[in-house]
Amino acid sequence: MSLVFYVIAGLSVAGALAAVLLKNTVHCALALTVAFAGLALLFLELDAQFAGFAQILIYIGAVAILVVFAILLTRGSETPKDTVYSRHWIVGLVTAAGIFAVLGWAVLHSTVALPRETTKPEVTVMDIGNALMGRYVLPLEIVALLLTAALIGAVIVAMHDKEGAQ
């Protein structure tokens, strides 16, 4: 646990908190981007170059942009006058705490289940590619199928409007 880790962790947590607590939705989206960047830096600090860059490319380059696009195209970015907190915040809190507990439990137990590595593993991009195309090819294809289905679904939703207008 170096100083760098604490700085990055602080950045990510601060970004995530700001994403929840800020009032303006676009500010929230930008704060969320900071949290994404913090996660990418954490990956890089662990020497996981591929995961870190993929995190930046996908989450900052695509997901964050889609989030701000969605905000601008739907509701506008005006700050609501009254409180922004939902009335059912207690339910949300319980759900979030539950998910956090399950994830935390899984992460803490995974260290027992997996063999403890004493030396730092040398993982190159080529190894990741080989693994994706060899051992994990089925999960990869399933994810690809899911994404294609989502894409077609989005196109159909968009097309339906047009037919109604004609």
Partner 1 sequence: MIEKADQIFILLSHWLVSFLPAWLQAAAMVLLGVVAIVVTFPALFAVTVLLERKGLGRMQNRYGPNRVGPYGIFQPIADGIKSLTKEDIVPRSADAVVHFMAPVFLVVVVFMGYAVLPMGRNMTLVNMDAGLLFFFAIGASSELSVFMAGWSSRNKYSLLGAMRAVAQMISYEVPLLMSSLAVVMITGSLSPNKIVDAQNQYTYGLPHWYIFTPWGFAGFLLFAVAATAETNRSPFDLPEGESELVAGYFTEYSGFKFALFFLGEYVGMMGISGLGTTLFLGGYSAPFSWLQWVPSWCWFFGKVMLSMCVFIWVRGTLPRLRQDQLMNFAWKFVLPLTLLNLMVAALWRFMGEGWLRWVVCSAILLLAYTVMGRVGMRREHFGPRSYRYAE
**Would you state the torsion angle of the CA atoms of residues 140, 141, 142, 146, taken in this order, to the nearest 10 degrees?**
100
Question: Is the Cα torsion angle 109, 112, 118, 122 positive or negative in sign?
Answer: negative
Q: Are 71 and 29 in contact (CB under 8 A)?
A: yes
Q: Does 57 bind partner 1 (CB under 8 A)?
A: yes
Nearest approach in angstroms of CB 124 to partner 1 is: 6
Q: Are 120 and 48 in contact (CB under 8 A)?
A: no
- Give the binding range for partner 1 (CB under 8 A) out of 13-21, 22-30, 89-97, 138-146: 22-30
Using CB under 8 A as the binding criterion, the count of chain residues that bind partner 1 stands at 22
Q: Does 49 bind partner 1 (CB under 8 A)?
A: yes
CA gap 12, 34 in Å, rounded = 7
One symbol per residue from 99 to 128: x for binding partner 1 (CB under 8 A), - otherwise; what is it?
-------------------------xxx--
Residues binding partner 1 (CB under 8 A):
26-27, 30, 33, 49-50, 53-54, 56-57, 60-62, 64-65, 68-69, 72, 77, 124-126
